Amino acid sequence: MTQHRLDPSPDTVTDVLSRELSPVLTVDPGDSVVVRTLNASGHLERQRTPGETRPTMHTDRRGHCLAGPIFVRGAAPGMMLGVHLVSLRPDDWGFTVAGGRDTPLNRQLGVAGGEPAWLLWELDAERCLGTNDRGHTVALAPFLGVIGLPPDEPGEHSTIPPRPAGGGNIDCGDLVAGSTLYLPVTVSGALLCIGDGHAAQGDGEVGGTAIECGMTTHVELTLATDRPLPTVHAETPTSWVTFGFHADLNQAMVSALDDMLGWMGTAYSLGKAEALALASTTVDLRITQVANQTWGVHAVLRRDAVR
Protein backbone atom coordinates (compact mmCIF):
# COMPACT_ATOMS: atom_id res chain seq x y z
CA MET A 1 0.00 0.00 0.00
CA THR A 2 1.31 3.42 -0.98
CA GLN A 3 0.35 6.72 0.64
CA HIS A 4 0.01 9.68 -1.70
CA ARG A 5 -0.36 13.41 -1.08
CA LEU A 6 -2.62 15.76 -3.05
CA ASP A 7 -2.55 19.53 -2.44
CA PRO A 8 -4.68 22.22 -4.09
CA SER A 9 -3.28 23.99 -7.13
CA PRO A 10 -4.73 25.12 -10.46
CA ASP A 11 -3.61 21.73 -11.87
CA THR A 12 -5.19 19.53 -9.17
CA VAL A 13 -8.69 20.99 -8.67
CA THR A 14 -11.90 21.06 -10.66
CA ASP A 15 -15.28 22.77 -10.35
CA VAL A 16 -17.14 20.29 -12.59
CA LEU A 17 -17.44 16.51 -12.87
CA SER A 18 -16.52 14.95 -16.21
CA ARG A 19 -15.32 11.61 -17.51
CA GLU A 20 -13.19 13.63 -19.94
CA LEU A 21 -11.01 15.31 -17.27
CA SER A 22 -7.41 14.14 -17.08
CA PRO A 23 -6.53 12.47 -13.76
CA VAL A 24 -4.38 14.50 -11.38
CA LEU A 25 -3.29 11.39 -9.47
CA THR A 26 -3.25 7.64 -10.21
CA VAL A 27 -3.42 5.10 -7.38
CA ASP A 28 -3.76 1.36 -6.88
CA PRO A 29 -6.60 -0.25 -4.91
CA GLY A 30 -5.56 -0.28 -1.26
CA ASP A 31 -3.56 2.93 -1.56
CA SER A 32 -4.30 5.91 0.65
CA VAL A 33 -4.26 9.62 -0.13
CA VAL A 34 -3.88 12.60 2.17
CA VAL A 35 -5.90 15.28 0.41
CA ARG A 36 -5.84 18.95 1.28
CA THR A 37 -8.97 20.67 -0.06
CA LEU A 38 -10.01 24.30 -0.09
CA ASN A 39 -13.52 25.21 0.98
CA ALA A 40 -16.34 24.86 -1.56
CA SER A 41 -15.79 28.43 -2.75
CA GLY A 42 -12.09 27.79 -3.24
CA HIS A 43 -10.90 30.55 -0.92
CA LEU A 44 -7.14 31.07 -1.03
CA GLU A 45 -7.21 33.43 1.96
CA ARG A 46 -9.38 33.57 5.06
CA GLN A 47 -12.20 36.04 5.42
CA ARG A 48 -11.35 38.72 7.96
CA THR A 49 -14.94 39.91 8.30
CA PRO A 50 -18.16 37.93 7.65
CA GLY A 51 -18.84 37.71 3.92
CA GLU A 52 -15.68 39.53 2.87
CA THR A 53 -14.64 38.91 -0.74
CA ARG A 54 -11.27 37.17 -0.83
CA PRO A 55 -9.23 35.59 -3.66
CA THR A 56 -10.44 32.18 -4.86
CA MET A 57 -8.95 29.41 -6.98
CA HIS A 58 -11.55 29.86 -9.75
CA THR A 59 -12.50 33.42 -10.68
CA ASP A 60 -15.62 32.23 -12.52
CA ARG A 61 -16.53 29.29 -10.31
CA ARG A 62 -19.17 26.93 -11.72
CA GLY A 63 -19.46 24.56 -8.77
CA HIS A 64 -17.62 23.28 -5.70
CA CYS A 65 -13.84 23.54 -5.66
CA LEU A 66 -12.85 19.86 -5.56
CA ALA A 67 -9.65 17.84 -5.55
CA GLY A 68 -9.29 15.43 -8.45
CA PRO A 69 -10.04 13.49 -10.40
CA ILE A 70 -8.18 10.54 -8.88
CA PHE A 71 -7.78 7.50 -11.17
CA VAL A 72 -8.01 4.12 -9.41
CA ARG A 73 -6.35 1.36 -11.43
CA GLY A 74 -8.67 -1.54 -12.19
CA ALA A 75 -11.88 0.33 -11.35
CA ALA A 76 -14.62 -0.48 -13.86
CA PRO A 77 -18.41 -0.24 -14.05
CA GLY A 78 -19.98 -3.10 -12.10
CA MET A 79 -17.58 -2.59 -9.19
CA MET A 80 -17.99 -0.51 -6.05
CA LEU A 81 -15.39 2.06 -4.99
CA GLY A 82 -14.87 2.09 -1.24
CA VAL A 83 -13.79 5.46 0.16
CA HIS A 84 -12.68 4.91 3.75
CA LEU A 85 -12.33 8.13 5.72
CA VAL A 86 -9.39 7.58 8.06
CA SER A 87 -9.28 11.13 9.42
CA LEU A 88 -10.65 14.60 8.70
CA ARG A 89 -9.14 17.79 10.09
CA PRO A 90 -10.79 21.14 9.36
CA ASP A 91 -8.82 24.32 8.76
CA ASP A 92 -8.83 27.00 11.46
CA TRP A 93 -11.65 29.08 9.97
CA GLY A 94 -14.94 28.66 8.17
CA PHE A 95 -18.10 30.47 7.13
CA THR A 96 -21.86 29.94 6.91
CA VAL A 97 -24.21 31.98 4.72
CA ALA A 98 -28.01 31.79 4.48
CA GLY A 99 -30.85 33.72 2.89
CA GLY A 100 -30.67 36.12 -0.01
CA ARG A 101 -30.78 33.54 -2.83
CA ASP A 102 -34.08 33.15 -4.66
CA THR A 103 -34.87 29.50 -3.95
CA PRO A 104 -38.27 27.88 -3.31
CA LEU A 105 -37.36 27.25 0.34
CA ASN A 106 -36.05 30.78 0.91
CA ARG A 107 -39.20 32.24 -0.66
CA GLN A 108 -41.43 30.19 1.63
CA LEU A 109 -39.36 31.21 4.66
CA GLY A 110 -39.48 34.86 3.62
CA VAL A 111 -35.69 35.28 3.34
CA ALA A 112 -35.29 35.39 -0.46
CA GLY A 113 -33.89 38.60 -1.89
CA GLY A 114 -32.09 41.22 0.13
CA GLU A 115 -28.77 40.70 1.85
CA PRO A 116 -27.69 37.22 2.94
CA ALA A 117 -26.71 36.58 6.56
CA TRP A 118 -23.10 35.52 7.19
CA LEU A 119 -21.38 33.85 10.12
CA LEU A 120 -17.59 33.72 10.38
CA TRP A 121 -16.18 30.85 12.44
CA GLU A 122 -12.95 30.21 14.31
CA LEU A 123 -12.37 26.44 14.33
CA ASP A 124 -10.42 24.59 17.01
CA ALA A 125 -9.77 21.11 15.64
CA GLU A 126 -8.05 19.94 18.83
CA ARG A 127 -11.05 20.81 21.02
CA CYS A 128 -13.60 20.02 18.24
CA LEU A 129 -15.17 23.41 18.86
CA GLY A 130 -16.31 26.23 16.56
CA THR A 131 -16.98 29.81 17.70
CA ASN A 132 -18.66 32.34 15.43
CA ASP A 133 -18.43 36.11 15.28
CA ARG A 134 -21.66 36.41 17.31
CA GLY A 135 -20.15 34.40 20.18
CA HIS A 136 -22.06 31.13 19.62
CA THR A 137 -20.16 27.87 20.00
CA VAL A 138 -20.95 24.50 18.40
CA ALA A 139 -19.36 21.07 18.56
CA LEU A 140 -17.49 20.09 15.40
CA ALA A 141 -18.10 16.84 13.52
CA PRO A 142 -16.10 17.24 10.30
CA PHE A 143 -16.99 15.49 7.05
CA LEU A 144 -16.81 16.03 3.29
CA GLY A 145 -19.93 17.26 1.52
CA VAL A 146 -18.78 15.97 -1.88
CA ILE A 147 -17.40 12.50 -2.56
CA GLY A 148 -18.31 11.50 -6.08
CA LEU A 149 -17.67 10.08 -9.52
CA PRO A 150 -18.65 11.62 -12.87
CA PRO A 151 -21.70 10.52 -14.87
CA ASP A 152 -20.94 8.21 -17.79
CA GLU A 153 -22.09 10.87 -20.23
CA PRO A 154 -20.11 13.31 -22.38
CA GLY A 155 -19.47 16.88 -21.31
CA GLU A 156 -19.15 18.72 -18.03
CA HIS A 157 -21.64 18.11 -15.22
CA SER A 158 -22.58 20.22 -12.22
CA THR A 159 -21.13 19.33 -8.82
CA ILE A 160 -24.28 20.56 -7.06
CA PRO A 161 -26.90 17.78 -7.29
CA PRO A 162 -26.09 14.36 -5.80
CA ARG A 163 -26.69 11.43 -8.15
CA PRO A 164 -27.81 7.82 -7.56
CA ALA A 165 -24.96 6.76 -9.85
CA GLY A 166 -21.67 8.04 -8.49
CA GLY A 167 -22.84 10.03 -5.46
CA GLY A 168 -21.30 13.50 -5.30
CA ASN A 169 -22.74 16.31 -3.21
CA ILE A 170 -24.35 14.00 -0.65
CA ASP A 171 -23.87 16.35 2.33
CA CYS A 172 -24.41 13.59 4.91
CA GLY A 173 -23.08 14.49 8.35
CA ASP A 174 -22.95 10.80 9.34
CA LEU A 175 -19.89 10.28 7.11
CA VAL A 176 -17.36 11.16 9.81
CA ALA A 177 -13.91 9.66 10.34
CA GLY A 178 -14.06 5.87 10.47
CA SER A 179 -16.82 5.69 7.85
CA THR A 180 -16.61 4.00 4.46
CA LEU A 181 -18.75 5.28 1.60
CA TYR A 182 -19.38 2.83 -1.26
CA LEU A 183 -20.01 4.31 -4.71
CA PRO A 184 -21.01 2.44 -7.89
CA VAL A 185 -18.14 2.89 -10.33
CA THR A 186 -19.51 4.82 -13.29
CA VAL A 187 -16.45 5.09 -15.55
CA SER A 188 -13.13 3.35 -16.04
CA GLY A 189 -10.70 4.40 -13.31
CA ALA A 190 -13.55 5.82 -11.18
CA LEU A 191 -12.19 9.43 -11.47
CA LEU A 192 -12.96 10.29 -7.85
CA CYS A 193 -13.38 13.94 -6.85
CA ILE A 194 -13.68 15.07 -3.22
CA GLY A 195 -14.03 18.30 -1.27
CA ASP A 196 -16.59 20.70 0.20
CA GLY A 197 -15.34 20.34 3.76
CA HIS A 198 -17.94 20.85 6.49
CA ALA A 199 -16.82 21.35 10.08
CA ALA A 200 -20.41 20.89 11.31
CA GLN A 201 -23.86 20.59 9.74
CA GLY A 202 -27.36 19.72 10.88
CA ASP A 203 -29.39 17.15 8.93
CA GLY A 204 -31.07 19.01 6.08
CA GLU A 205 -28.41 21.72 5.64
CA VAL A 206 -31.45 23.99 5.84
CA GLY A 207 -29.70 27.30 5.16
CA GLY A 208 -27.87 25.97 2.11
CA THR A 209 -24.41 25.91 3.70
CA ALA A 210 -22.76 24.22 6.68
CA ILE A 211 -19.63 25.51 8.39
CA GLU A 212 -17.80 25.65 5.07
CA CYS A 213 -14.08 25.10 5.51
CA GLY A 214 -10.90 23.76 4.04
CA MET A 215 -10.08 20.21 5.13
CA THR A 216 -7.20 17.76 5.29
CA THR A 217 -8.59 14.28 4.74
CA HIS A 218 -6.84 10.90 4.82
CA VAL A 219 -8.72 8.40 2.64
CA GLU A 220 -8.09 4.77 1.74
CA LEU A 221 -9.46 3.58 -1.62
CA THR A 222 -10.56 0.01 -2.32
CA LEU A 223 -12.57 -1.88 -4.94
CA ALA A 224 -15.31 -4.39 -4.15
CA THR A 225 -17.61 -6.70 -6.10
CA ASP A 226 -19.35 -8.35 -3.14
CA ARG A 227 -21.19 -5.51 -1.44
CA PRO A 228 -24.80 -6.13 -0.27
CA LEU A 229 -26.09 -3.31 -2.51
CA PRO A 230 -25.21 -2.01 -5.99
CA THR A 231 -26.20 1.52 -4.97
CA VAL A 232 -24.61 4.28 -2.88
CA HIS A 233 -24.38 3.18 0.76
CA ALA A 234 -22.09 3.52 3.76
CA GLU A 235 -20.86 1.89 6.92
CA THR A 236 -20.14 4.39 9.69
CA PRO A 237 -18.55 3.62 13.07
CA THR A 238 -22.03 3.10 14.50
CA SER A 239 -24.44 2.35 11.64
CA TRP A 240 -25.41 1.17 8.18
CA VAL A 241 -26.60 4.01 5.95
CA THR A 242 -28.47 4.00 2.63
CA PHE A 243 -29.37 6.99 0.47
CA GLY A 244 -32.10 8.30 -1.79
CA PHE A 245 -31.76 11.27 -4.16
CA HIS A 246 -34.70 12.73 -6.07
CA ALA A 247 -36.40 16.02 -6.90
CA ASP A 248 -39.38 14.63 -4.94
CA LEU A 249 -38.50 14.15 -1.26
CA ASN A 250 -41.03 11.32 -0.99
CA GLN A 251 -39.31 9.41 -3.79
CA ALA A 252 -35.93 10.02 -2.17
CA MET A 253 -37.32 8.53 1.03
CA VAL A 254 -38.64 5.43 -0.77
CA SER A 255 -35.27 4.86 -2.46
CA ALA A 256 -33.34 5.11 0.80
CA LEU A 257 -35.76 2.82 2.63
CA ASP A 258 -35.96 0.28 -0.18
CA ASP A 259 -32.19 -0.08 -0.21
CA MET A 260 -32.09 -0.49 3.55
CA LEU A 261 -34.74 -3.22 3.35
CA GLY A 262 -32.63 -5.01 0.75
CA TRP A 263 -29.55 -4.80 2.99
CA MET A 264 -31.50 -6.06 5.99
CA GLY A 265 -33.06 -8.84 3.95
CA THR A 266 -29.63 -10.11 2.94
CA ALA A 267 -28.08 -9.70 6.39
CA TYR A 268 -30.92 -11.26 8.37
CA SER A 269 -32.45 -13.65 5.78
CA LEU A 270 -35.77 -11.79 5.65
CA GLY A 271 -38.41 -11.25 3.00
CA LYS A 272 -39.19 -7.63 2.15
CA ALA A 273 -42.35 -7.42 4.29
CA GLU A 274 -40.51 -8.98 7.21
CA ALA A 275 -37.60 -6.58 6.74
CA LEU A 276 -40.07 -3.68 6.67
CA ALA A 277 -41.60 -4.85 9.95
CA LEU A 278 -38.17 -5.02 11.58
CA ALA A 279 -37.17 -1.68 10.03
CA SER A 280 -40.23 -0.06 11.53
CA THR A 281 -38.75 -0.74 14.96
CA THR A 282 -35.10 0.04 14.25
CA VAL A 283 -34.48 2.27 11.19
CA ASP A 284 -34.34 6.08 11.31
CA LEU A 285 -35.20 8.11 8.21
CA ARG A 286 -33.41 11.45 8.06
CA ILE A 287 -33.53 14.33 5.61
CA THR A 288 -29.93 14.58 4.45
CA GLN A 289 -30.22 17.92 2.67
CA VAL A 290 -32.77 20.18 0.97
CA ALA A 291 -30.15 22.51 -0.50
CA ASN A 292 -28.91 20.87 -3.68
CA GLN A 293 -31.73 20.81 -6.28
CA THR A 294 -32.00 17.03 -5.86
CA TRP A 295 -33.13 16.33 -2.30
CA GLY A 296 -31.52 13.68 -0.15
CA VAL A 297 -32.81 11.22 2.45
CA HIS A 298 -30.73 8.69 4.33
CA ALA A 299 -31.90 5.63 6.22
CA VAL A 300 -29.87 4.68 9.27
CA LEU A 301 -29.71 1.33 11.07
CA ARG A 302 -27.50 1.27 14.14
CA ARG A 303 -25.23 -1.76 14.29
CA ASP A 304 -26.44 -2.59 17.79
CA ALA A 305 -30.15 -2.23 16.97
CA VAL A 306 -30.63 -5.87 15.89
CA ARG A 307 -28.89 -8.72 17.69
H or E element in which residue 167 lies: strand 167-169
DSSP-assigned letters across all residues of 197-236? EES---TB-TTS--SEEEEEEEEEEEEES--S-SS-EEE-
Q: For residue 277, count CB atoms less than 10 angstroms from its CB and return exposed for 0-12, middle for 13-18, buried for 19 or more.
A: exposed
One domain, residues 246 and 296: yes
Same structural domain, 151 and 63: yes
Question: How much of the chain exceeds pLDDT 70, in percent?
Answer: 100
pLDDT band at 1 (very low <50, low <70, confident <90, very high): confident
pLDDT digits over 269-293, tens only? 999 999 999 999 999 999 999 988 8
Other C-beta atoms lying within 10 Å of the C-beta of residue 305: 16
pLDDT band of residue 205 (cuts 50, 70, 90) is very high
pLDDT score, position 59 = 84
The reply to whether 266 and 210 lie within a common domain is no
Identify whether residues 159 and 290 lie together within a single domain. no
Instruction: Name beta bridge partners: 112.
Output: 100
Percent of the chain with pLDDT over 90: 95
Tell me if 292 is assigned to some domain: yes
**Which residues constitute the domain of residue 18?**
3-90+141-224
Q: What angle (nearest 5°) sits at the alpha carbon of residue 207, between those of residues 202 and 210?
A: 50
CATH number (domain holding residue 55): 2.60.120.580
**What's the pLDDT tens digit per position in 98-143?**
999 998 899 999 999 889 999 999 999 999 999 999 999 999 999 9
Mean pLDDT of 187-198: 98
208 and 239 fall within a common domain: no
The whole-number average pLDDT for the span 243-252 is: 97
Whether 166 and 293 map to the same domain: the answer is: no
Assign 201 a pLDDT band (cuts: 50, 70, 90).
Answer: very high
279 located within any domain: yes
Let me know if residue 40 belongs to a domain: yes
Q: What pLDDT, in 10s, does the model give residues 32-71?
A: 999 999 999 999 999 999 999 999 998 888 999 999 999 9
User: What mean pLDDT comes out for the span 260-271?
Assistant: 97
257 and 202, same domain (yes or no)? no
Last residue of a domain, one of 224, 250, 272: 224
Q: Is residue 105 part of a domain?
A: no
307: confidence class by pLDDT, cuts 50, 70, 90 = confident
98 within domain boundaries: no
Average pLDDT, the chain: 96
Number of structural domains found in the chain = 2
